[in-house]
Amino acid sequence: MISRRDFLQTSMAAAALYGGSGFGNWGRLAAQQSLTQRKLLEFDTFGNVSLIHITDIHAQLKPIFFREPEINIGVGDNRGQVPHVTGSDFRKLYGIDDGSASAYALSYNDFTALAQGYGRVGGLDRVATVVNHIRSDRPDALLLDGGDTWHGSYTCHHTAGQDMVNVMNTLRPDAMTFHWEFTLGSNRITEIVEKLPFAALGQNIFDSEWDEPADLFPPYKFFDTGGVKVAVIGQAFPYMPIANPGWMFPEYSFGIRDENMQVMVNEVRAQGAELVVCLSHNGFDVDKQMAGIVKGIDVILSGHTHDALPEPVLVGSTMLIASGSNGKFVTRLDLDVRDGEVKGFSHKLIPIFSDVIAPDP
């Protein structure tokens, strides 16, 4: 039933990457083949570091029908730029065929007809299968959760986030940042975060009384993976008290805090970080802006705006990755890091077709 073009891996040497060429071939490079779990998970291991990115799961435990938005408005310079490109324009940009699996996963046209063929997407048990597969290949791959995780379903609401916390813990993330989680209220957040078996990061989460970084949320954490010293810096949603009721977390203040981000980047570099990753919930356009202002971030794993991009977007030498929402995608990014520099990368936006990927038992 499921056939046509497949999702594929984009690989590039650093020279090609920073030269800006080679993009736009995504769909064209895809082979005509049937969609199988093996094909969806297929990846030629590259370099020495693997990052796995998931974000904006919104407590979506089970597979769903999820259609990409028809309208994605870009303001000012961002008008007409990725990710504010949808439908047929998006498919043309990435060379995706009408009616293909890629078209179903990444754009909104013919959604009803294609949904009958390709079925549901997401499901954290399927995400677990993908994460386990990547770890079987690269055991010390870092799993990074961009937030908006413990919010958005009845059971999540009913258990004050506990059901999602329990499920996510079984995936063993290495770090996470936050947005809607804060609407659980400061007390509940403290209760959960104190027991988390992984890092809860946010360089822009400040104690509002003292205007100092909040103790509960360290700005960054170091990981040794593939012989590379990796710093992951967290960036929580900046506009928290504007978009969400501030009375639920009066102890905290947020903001983008580009200056503090630069201080953090310099600090981790001074401590020997060879790769600097920002796990962000800024939203794509704010991340683009931040990448232009803050120097020295290698990769921004972007969240909040739910964009799913089949290729990284470059701002200077900073690579921006967008991994969709609701458990519909997992991004795998392999990097070749040597002498404190990214020499090349291999990237794949893996769609979680629920009928193709087996649930993890």
Report CA-CA distances (Å) from 83 to 172, 188, 257, 305, 323.
30, 34, 23, 9, 11
- Residue 55's CB is within 10 A of a number of other CB atoms, namely 34
CB of 147 to Zn ion, least distance (A): 7
Q: In what order do the strands lie in the sheet with 228-235?
A: 220-225, 228-235, 275-280, 299-302, 318-322, 313-315
Closest distance of CB 145 from Zn ion, Å: 12
Binding mask 40-59 for Zn ion (x = CB under 5 A): --------------------
Least distance from C-beta 51 to Zn ion, angstroms? Answer: 20
Determine, following the binding rule CB under 5 A, whether residue 304 of this chain makes contact with Zn ion: yes
Instruction: Provide the minimum distance between the beta carbon of 156 and Zn ion in the complex, in angstroms, as a whole number.
Output: 15
Smallest gap from Cβ 287 to Zn ion, in A, equals 13
Q: Decide if 290 contacts 315 (C-beta within 8 A).
A: no
Percentage helix, strand, coil, to 5, in the chain?
30, 25, 45
Binding to Zn ion by CB under 5 A, coded x per residue (else -) over 210-229, reads: --------------------
Cβ at position 58, least distance to Zn ion in Å: 9
Q: Of 148 and 311, which CB lies nearer to Zn ion in the complex structure?
A: 148
CB 310 within 8 A of CB 349: yes
Asked if residues 322 and 299 have their Cβ atoms less than 8 Å apart, the reply is: no
Residue 7 · residue 328 · CB < 8 Å:
no
Q: How many residues bind Zn ion (CB under 5 A)?
A: 3
Going residue by residue from 177 to 206, which x/- string records binding to Zn ion, judged by CB under 5 A?
--x---------------------------
| Residues 114-153, interacting with Zn ion (CB under 5 A) | 148
Kindly write out the interface string for residues 252-291 of this chain, putting x where it contacts Zn ion by CB under 5 A and - elsewhere: ----------------------------------------
The full length of the chain comes to 361
What number of other Cβ atoms are within 10 A of residue 311's Cβ?
Answer: 21
Residue numbers at the binding site for Zn ion (CB under 5 A): 148, 179, 304
